[in-house]
Every structure is written in C-alpha cells, then in structure tokens.
A and B are shown apart, each in its own frame.
Chain A
C-alpha cells in the first residue's frame, strides 16, 4: 500500500510538471522542432533579451503586479483590521461577502468590470477609458480578497490584550497599531502581498477584458502570439516566468514554515515553563 502511494504521488507530480519540463527543455533546444532535441543552446534567451517588444511588455506586467499588489495589500490589511473589530455577526457577513469574488468565475469578473468601466466612461464622456488605470483597478479588485484572507487569521490569533496593553502604556490607537499590532500580523501581510503579486503577474482572463491598446501586459500579448506559430524565444520567456513564480512560491512557503516553527517553539517553551514553575 505504501509503495502504491509513493508510485501514485510520483505519477501525479509527473503529470503536473511534465508540461513545464517540456517547455524548459524546448527553451534550450537549438532546433526548431519540439520533438527533436538538436543541441543545447542559450540562443533563445539571448534573442529574448534583445527583443524590443516582449521585454517592455514584461516590464508592464511587473509594474501592474507591483503596484496592484502593493495597493491591495495596504487596502486589504486596513479592511481586515476593520472587519476584525466588527461584532461577530457583522464580521461573519462581511467575510462571506469578501469570499464570493474568490469563487466567482474570472470571466464573469472580467466582463462585469469591463461593463462597469464602459458605463463610467460613457457617464464621464471619455472615449477610450480602457488603459493602464482600468487594468490597475481591476487587478487591485481581484487581489483584495486574497490579502484580507491571509491577514484575518493573524489578527484572530493575536492576543487581543496586546493592543490594550500598548494603549495602557500611553499609545494612541494609531501608535498601538504601528508599534505592536503590525508586528503580529506581518507574516499575514507578507504572504498576502506575495500571493497578490503572483495572481496579478500571470492574470490573463480579467486583464483581457479591461486592457487598452496603449498598455498591454505580457499574458495578453502572448495570447495573441498563440494564434501564430510560437517562436522559441517565447519558451525561454515562459521558462523564466515559471522560475520567477516558483521562486516566489518557495519563498512564501519558507516564510510560513519559519512562522510555524516559531509558533511551535513558543508553545513548546510555554509548556516547558508550565512544567518548571
């Protein structure tokens, strides 16, 4: 049975990662045919870095990802704190409302945002409202719930008396937040920000409905490419993108593990203490 489990796991992992492996191998292939590995080369990569179209688009994606995840993190953390201080009934309701967009099909979110922008554009008599701002707003919108969801648990785990202790020692409520509370919820804020960043960086569906011709992100542009035969430098780009996101994910997991280990240590120290005193 154990053996079977192991084999099964390997098979699943294989199917999950085989496409990425094929892509990565293809990005180092000197031949044009995917099926035949002609020779190892960095040519596709050097070509990619000389490309004057793709690189700016990558930069666009990164700009949107950084800005939207930053703004969503600030707004989302503030929202989480607000929700946390609500009464239990209102809090449950608000959390429910916050969770719905997460399960909403992206295409629905995309279409409704596009409609909203079109509506606002008509109201304000702006012809081409779609562009950088609409894209940014859309990304902030779908990032918010992720941030709220990762900050909330930290607030709930926190000793509610910490904030009172800070105020007892002379802090205004604002000082109490920046001197004490924020240290307790930082792990949640960081993982929320990282998650928002990766969600934003590779978003295609929603972006497709709200982007304008003047500001295109990489996933949207690549979608156009797939209609023609793909150039090998795209493989190189994908491989890099995959590596970057993998890096962020690993980082996030490491942070979580560290956080968990710290909690466990504290608990263990606490238990030891209870035995000793």
Chain B
C-alpha cells in the first residue's frame, strides 16, 4: 500500500481542563481519502486544527513524514485547509483569492496565471475571475475555497464540513466533484463530516469519533458491516441492538432463543450486543418465523416501508418493500449472516431500541439528543468493546 504521511500519537487536547480529545492514535496514508465522522462537538474540527497547526496538542505528538511537527507553525506546513465557513478574503476577487498562496510563495506572474487558470477550470469557475466573492452562490464560494487551497499543490488537504451549507442536490454533485479532484490530483484528503452517508460513499477510510475518542477505524464496508460497538452501529445507518449471550463460537442466544451466527472469538457465555440491520430482516408468515410480533406502525419512505414490530415489548425497526398493516401478526426469519455480534461497551443499552420510534428519526442524526432523555442506564460491562484490535 501507499506510504504513511501523517501520524497522531497519543494526542490529547484540553481546553481549560476540559478534555475534548483523548488519546487519539491515527495515521494517514499518502493519496488516501480519510473521513472523520462523528456527532457535533465530538472533536473533529479540533483534530483538523491540530493537523493544520492552529492548535498544539496538550499531550502527544504530530508526525509528518516521520518528523515531529508539533512546533511547526501553520505557514510552514505542507497542508492546506478548506475552512468550515470558507473564510474567503472579501477584499479580493475570485482570481486573487485563488492566487493568494502563490503570490505569498513569490511565484512568477506567468506561473501564477497558468496555475490559477487551470485550477479555476478544474472547479468549473472559468469566467468568474473578476467576481467579488460576496457575489457568488454558496456552492461557488465553496469551490473557490477548494481551488484556493488546491492551487498550492499541498500534500494534504483538510476539509472541514465543506458541503455543510449546501442543499442535497448540490451536495451530491460536489461530492462527486471532490472525489474526482482527489483522484485526479493524487492528494491526501482529510475530510470532516457528520453525515454518515457522505462518509460512506466518498472515503477510503472512515474514522468514527464520539466524545473526543476514536470509536472505530475502517473501510466504509467494515464500519457498516462490522460495527465495533452500539454507538457505531447506531450512528452508521439504522440498527436493532439487543442484549444477548454468546453460548459458544457461532451460537448466540437472545429473546430466549438460540441463533446461529458467523461471529467467533468470544468467551463462553459472554454477554454481548447483537446487531440486526433493519434491511436484513425477512418478514414471513407467523408459523415459519423464528420470532413473532405485532406491527405497531408503518411509514412509507419511498423505496421501502419502515415497519415497527413489537416483540415481547421490545420494538424492532424492519425495512421491507412489502406493506404490512398495523395490528397484523407476523413472523421474521434471521439467517446467520444477518446477525452481527459486538462486545459490550459503555454504549450498550443506549441505542438500537425503537420503542420511542418517530417517523422523523432521520433528522435525529445527533445521538446526544437520544442520550439527554435517558438517564445513565448503561450497564458497564467488565470489558469494553475496544480491546479488539
């Protein structure tokens, strides 16, 4: 694989004794598209600012090409940033905004002109050279911000929620555009977002963060299919999370029933969290089902129906293309590969129960909203779920 470019070693960041980043260990490979994903306030921007040189970690080291750069100021780092709110220079026009870094580097007028013109073409802003930045649309400003950073040919580009202000349509276009630029120019992208869909569709590697700590690092497929704990399972997509006991390798018991699964490597009779994705569940007639329950609510979502089914007081979310009436009694079948087993963690019991289901759950992408309503009922198990490397 490609070589390592940046590494954070045991990085900790505290503001006035409040620890906002704790023990971050992370490396970034050359030409990689890495995304930091997490809810608001989890420390994503802080991590970027440490890499950009605007903050010094209170503890730990930042390495660039193996060299410690904790004390290197931002203007000497081979890193450029696209800021969360663009931060374009209002007194300069589009051309001069993009040319800014090159003029500081004292390049010749010819070279500046060539590079700026090329760059404006890449971000499809040809003809906008003499516009004032205040006269651009949000999407155009955003592209100027990207051009202004990329024209310096940095080794690493830091992007802090660059698409946050755009509407869905423009967002999708820009996602493709960014991915294309990243591949064409062969630059490492460190991308911050709290939109899980964006993270999954664009990244080579996703880093899921919460409360200043890294919860999981992996490819988008890994993160989705093999979440490490209840937080990741819930934050990435929808999940039904149940208490279970691992009887032996590939055999788990929950809801008073034994199920075959594909996971192994747990201790005998270890309490575990069982994740079942709503789209993996098959609805069958009650007689054929492993479990039977009553439909309590159905919401049409376009491609599928969100069906909430009550199993002995525990409500599951099931996504199917078939319609099942409220009140009907149904069965479900679970195949071994539909079941994912996780170690217990501090997040166990906080997520994955749809008892308080509302049709607007999509908007509630901030898990802290869930947390606030529930007092600390997390039963801390002896071993956290993070000992699995």
Contacts and interface: CB of A to CB of B under 8 A. Distances in A.
Contacts of A165: 81, 83, 87-89
Interface residues of A, number: 25
B224 interface: no
B148 to A, nearest CB: 7
A83 to B, nearest CB: 21
B85 interface: yes
A167 B73 contact: yes
Given A277-B167, A277-B170, A269 B134 contact: yes
B136 to A, nearest CB: 7
Contacts of B75: 167-172
Interface in A160-208: 161-162, 164-172, 175, 179-180, 183-184
B301 interface: no
Interface string B71-91: 001110001110111011111
Contacts of B385: none
B186 interface: no
B359 interface: no
B137 interface: yes
Interface in B143-165: 148-149, 152, 165
Contact of B80 (A168, A180, A184): A168
Contacts of B105: 170
Most buried by B among A164, A165, A167, A179: A165
Nearest to B171: A277
Nearest to A270: B134
B103 to A, nearest CB: 9
B163 to A, nearest CB: 11
A170 B170 contact: no
A274 B136 CA distance: 11
Interface of A, secondary structure class, is helix
Contacts of A167: 54, 73-75
B60 interface: no
A175 B75 CA distance: 11
Given A175-B104, A277-B170, A161 B137 contact: no
A266 interface: yes
Nearest to B84: A161
B135 interface: yes
A47 interface: no
Given A169-B101, A269-B134, A277-B137, A161 B83 contact: yes
A172 B105 CA distance: 11
Contacts of A224: none
B136 A162 contact: no
Contact of B101 (A170, A265, A266, A274): A170
Contacts of A159: 85, 87
Contacts of A172: 75
A145 to B, nearest CB: 27
28 contacts: A161-B83, A161-B84, A161-B85, A162-B87, A164-B74, A164-B83, A165-B81, A165-B83, A166-B89, A166-B100, A167-B73, A167-B74, A168-B52, A168-B79, A168-B80, A169-B104, A169-B149, A169-B152, A170-B75, A170-B104, A171-B75, A171-B104, A179-B104, A269-B135, A270-B134, A273-B136, A277-B138, A277-B166
Interface of B: 52, 54, 73-75, 79-81, 83-85, 87-91, 100-101, 104-105, 134-139, 148-149, 152, 165-167, 170
Interface of A: 159, 161-162, 164-172, 175, 179-180, 183-184, 265-266, 269-270, 273-274, 276-277
